[in-house]
Structure 1
């Protein structure tokens, strides 16, 4: 994948600009969390002042992570992020296990959950005084996933336009909250800041869980989302670090001041009691226009689904290219130059999870696995520093930052082992299920002839249906 003129070969092109890169990261980080449940941090630390410090510290931590990922992304210019870096450093099996958990559970589950949140907020005005019909919610969520899958399969520029527009919408909503909050404080509503550290809980356990809650809202691993699609990013050596820094700083500032704004209107007790803080804020401040906030949350989640589909399809694509997934998932649409099979597979797989009632449990089981993968990725940076000191590094971070990040990530990984041993154990069990899959489908080369014929027939059918060919196939001009 180069920036050269079209040579007639079928391949993914570099169509993602700096602005697109920023909206991919910002749009992936900002979901419904900051609108719905910032109370998680407050519940653990007990005071307004300490909760704001935690939000700020989580942002700084995310910035350090983004900085480390810029070195990895510019010295290993491969899409796939953690999967690519772990594979380069530690080999095929650890990389496959990362791919297995991410593609089979984390991403499809996350897509389904975010799509369901979108559907809930869209349908809510139609059923103001009764419970929403579950079938209608799931159907609308499936329609959301289907529409965005088609958009992503048809054109990278279309999917980037969707990402841009809906990222602007969620930022607009947060800026509206922030401006309203500052107006309130200017009018003298600062009573909740009078004694900001009253009732603070400073125990190690409560602070650790508060950081875990805050980093979840920052969507922790989203700082590496652009690394998943770096082969389609224009001028990656320049745009990857720029997009990472701009995005993490922007989100940190917005999250911090959004929480300040909430406290200018809502008391700590009311925030803890609220099921959707932004909606409560809007009902109190905007009167008959309070309906705009659920609309903004719906737009935010719609954009979130698009971001997950776009980046995860590239993970399927790269995994297939490396021989860890069915070969057809690395094929490219002849006219559209998109990884259409990977996009459609991701969309269909996400829809399957819509019928499950245990998605949230699954995500809880593997949430610490994501932090484990992030920690191993940054360890790979240290590993490359030791084993490949002469490696080309357009960006070289100060060695203290990855060490601090690994230590902090280790803390985040260890806390759930003591606080939630069952969930952690289930997460480890889910990782282990990938080992027999790897042995059978990757290592075992002499599979039965009928099995290979079946796979070949499925591949040929998919090629004819979607007009896809292997990457770098030369077009008939």
Structure 2
């Protein structure tokens, strides 16, 4: 049964979709064409909000503990936060050349596809779809759970099983919202973005007041760890908080005048985020000792309980709203990546399909949700950060490698922005440091991360590179695809056919 027949059969059940009469396939085609034919209309301000909104999630509320754990002293932790911001700026600057040279949505997946071919691109796609996105979502959902439950367990850690169950509930609620209505999902994202910024500004304002009062006793280099491996692991937590600086590149086709606005948006956003992160950490340490930070899974709650008095409940609420919105953001944006991979024939076809009643990418949303809940089997947030950190920075390093490689192999490509070679070299050396060194300090987590990456190789050769599969296999997969289409009531938009 092809999509036209499937649409006709579904239309008998659903003759009208959202008040529109006609064949369900035609309705899906119409909405799909609107999406595909969107013209560049994002301004510089829109670009800045995309990057800032993507970066600021749960990281700033979780990572202070992880950074301090591996640096040992407050001052060294603050230096790691600054260097992490600068490191992200260098990577984003390199992406500005790649984004204006290879003007395709999909960011590093598109760059690696152009430079190194489909095999390397699939590995990047596999890392992002199977590790980075679902693992990041699991981290943020767990953070949401910890902050919601912490007021009920002020003197001890919330039960792990309860935290996992609440994280599952968070993911399921947002999965329903994203499958039910794109408008609902974007509204959730807008409201909860304001909540996270308000929470940070309140913390910074209180920290500034405490700093003026002379609370500087914890700002020392005492107990600084000098082991190279520990410092490398501290960058995993620091860089995790900056994750998302490359998200504007995923939708560069919709940005006005990208040659001018992409580097400007990157510069403004990352300078702003670095300053906010630095001041937020300074605020934490004006009243919290290193021991208190290390003993807390919810640093902002501990800070609020010591500085806000009877109003301490406000900060956990704001942080919970922030992390709830961050989970929604991952669900909302991941469908673009699944769609891009499926259009290249490197992801299951079902992931490009649209729910005919709600006109939402339900299969992609469900896929990322199920994977995220699988990662919730691990309740250690910092172990999850190590998993995602290793995979993320290894794959982004591969994307930055595209820049010097294309300079050598395709020197005649039009480069509206030409980054000095010094920047990609520095970034690649730093990437080697933050990916190779932790293998010795945290071999278990990096080993799991490497195994998850290596699983992409047999998948690629069996499901993608092998074209002449047995007829029985093709019939089975076709039947499975049709069953899923009927179950989810989805069809392909015209652009993916």
Q: Supply the distance in 2 between the matched residues of 1:139 and 1:43 (Cα, whole angstroms).
A: 27
| TM-fit CA distance, 1:175 | 1.1
| TM-fit CA distance, 1:289 | 0.8
Q: Supply the distance in 2 between the matched residues of 1:106 and 1:215 (Cα, whole angstroms).
A: 13
Query: In the alignment, which residue of structure 2 is the partner of 1:74?
Result: 100
> Does the CA-based 8 Å contact 1:364-1:423 persist in structure 2?
yes
> Does the CA-based 8 Å contact 1:45-1:51 persist in structure 2?
yes
User: Higher mean Cα deviation, 87-96 or 197-206?
Assistant: 197-206
Query: In the alignment, which residue of structure 2 is the partner of 1:39?
Result: 65
User: Higher mean Cα deviation, 333-342 or 370-379?
Assistant: 333-342
Q: Supply the distance in 1 between the matched residues of 2:457 and 2:496 (Cα, whole angstroms).
A: 33
> Does the CA-based 8 Å contact 1:334-1:469 persist in structure 2?
no
Query: In the alignment, which residue of structure 2 is the partner of 1:186?
Result: 212
**Uncovered stretches (5+) of structure 2, i.e. residues with no partner:** 1-29
Query: In the alignment, which residue of structure 1 is the partner of 2:460?
Result: 438
1:86 partnered with 2:109: no
**Number of residue-to-residue matches in the alignment:** 465
In structure 2, do the counterparts of structure 1 residues 239 and 334 end up closer, same or farther at CA, with 3 Å as the change threshold?
farther
Q: Supply the distance in 2 between the matched residues of 1:215 and 1:318 (Cα, whole angstroms).
A: 26
**Uncovered stretches (5+) of structure 1, i.e. residues with no partner:** 1-5
Query: In the alignment, which residue of structure 1 is the partner of 2:398?
Result: 376
TM-score w.r.t. structure 2 length? 0.82
Query: In the alignment, which residue of structure 2 is the partner of 1:472?
Result: 495
In structure 2, do the counterparts of structure 1 residues 435 and 16 end up closer, same or farther at CA, with 3 Å as the change threshold?
same
> Does the CA-based 8 Å contact 2:132-2:391 persist in structure 1?
no
Query: In the alignment, which residue of structure 2 is the partner of 1:142?
Result: 168
2:410 aligned to which of 384, 388, 404: 388
> Does the CA-based 8 Å contact 2:160-2:379 persist in structure 1?
no
User: Higher mean Cα deviation, 390-399 or 43-52?
Assistant: 43-52
1:209 aligned to which of 227, 233, 244: 233
> Does the CA-based 8 Å contact 2:64-2:299 persist in structure 1?
yes
The superposition leaves residues 440-475 of structure 1 with CA deviations (integer Å, 9 ceiling, x where unpaired) of: 11012222333323333344455554443234279x
Q: Supply the distance in 1 between the matched residues of 2:424 and 2:468 (Cα, whole angstroms).
A: 42
TM-score w.r.t. structure 1 length? 0.86
1:29 partnered with 2:55: yes
1:260 aligned to which of 257, 279, 282: 282
In structure 2, do the counterparts of structure 1 residues 473 and 225 end up closer, same or farther at CA, with 3 Å as the change threshold?
closer
| TM-fit CA distance, 1:324 | 0.8
The superposition leaves residues 353-374 of structure 1 with CA deviations (integer Å, 9 ceiling, x where unpaired) of: 4456688756634532221111
1:60 partnered with 2:83: no
Q: Supply the distance in 1 between the matched residues of 2:70 and 2:165 (Cα, whole angstroms).
A: 36
SS in 2 for 1:74: helix
SS in 2 for 1:177: helix
Query: In the alignment, which residue of structure 2 is the partner of 1:3?
Result: none
1:309 partnered with 2:309: no
> Does the CA-based 8 Å contact 2:353-2:490 persist in structure 1?
no
In structure 2, do the counterparts of structure 1 residues 454 and 239 end up closer, same or farther at CA, with 3 Å as the change threshold?
farther
Alignment RMSD, CA only?
3.2
> Does the CA-based 8 Å contact 1:321-1:330 persist in structure 2?
yes
SS in 2 for 1:265: coil
